[in-house]
Amino acid sequence: MTVRIGYAAGAFDLFHIGHLNILRHAREQCDTLIAGVVSDEILALGKGIRPFIPTIERAEIVRSNRFVDEVYIETTLDKLDAWRDVRFTHFFKGDDWRGTEKGAQLERRFETVGVEVVYFPYTAHTSSSQLRRVLEAVGVESPRSDEGTLVSA
């Protein structure tokens, strides 16, 4: 029997039901679930955003979730770097990526190392982007990205 090692990556900033759903669904489909928490620096580089919650705190929130066996902090933009370190067999992603060029590219890259990309329903009614817009609308700004203790994998 093959051991299924799952990997679900995200910012996990402003942790909400969508995050919980993806971790729950991912755990149901693997023997071990590793959650990848994208570091503050990589969020700034990749998405141009500063998280409200620093990396170390987001990692601890995710680590405390009963569906998660391990947490890996992503410090590069390339998901294959995470695979090289963790060696997961399944990569879990919200289905907002399915059928997009980003999703197809991700699938092609992971296919070269034998990783299956599995999509789960995206929780459209709640997202970190929506929460971020509401907070900013009421005058709450993201903290400076260098305000918090950062850790590397």
Which CATH number characterizes residue 80's domain? 3.40.50.620
Which 3 state secondary structure label does DSSP give 139? coil
How far is it, in rounded angstroms, from Cα 83 to Cα 88? 6
Predicted pLDDT of residue 151: 37
How far is it, in rounded angstroms, from Cα 106 to Cα 47? 16
Q: Taking residues 125-135, what's their average pLDDT?
A: 59
With bands split at pLDDT 50, 70 and 90, how would you rate the model's confidence at 74? very high
CB 44 within 8 A of CB 134: no
Residue 144 CB neighbour total at 10 angstroms: 9
Q: Taking residues 127-151, what's their average pLDDT?
A: 54
Amino acid present at 85: D
Residue 99 has pLDDT above 90, yes or no: yes
Residue 110 lies in a domain: yes
How far is it, in rounded angstroms, from Cα 153 to Cα 134? 32
Residue 145 lies in a domain: no
Predicted pLDDT of residue 142: 64
Residue 146 lies in a domain: no
Residue 47 lies in a domain: yes
pLDDT averaged over every residue in the chain: 86
How many structural domains compose the chain? 1
What percent of the chain lies above the pLDDT cut of 70? 79
Residue 147 lies in a domain: no
Residue 48 lies in a domain: yes
Predicted pLDDT of residue 33: 98
Tens-digit pLDDT profile for residues 28-69: 999 999 999 999 999 999 988 889 899 999 999 999 999 999
Among the ranges given (30-39, 115-124, 138-147), the one the predictor scored with the smallest mean pLDDT: 138-147
| Beta strand 70-74 pairing with 116-120 | unpaired
pTM listed for this prediction: 0.83
Q: Which residue range(s) make up the domain with 30?
A: 5-137
One-character DSSP codes across 54-96: -HHHHHHHHHTSTT-SEEEEE-SS-HHHHHHHH--SEEEEETT
Residue 15 lies in a domain: yes
Amino acid present at 112: T
Residue 37 lies in a domain: yes
Tokens of 53: 């919650």
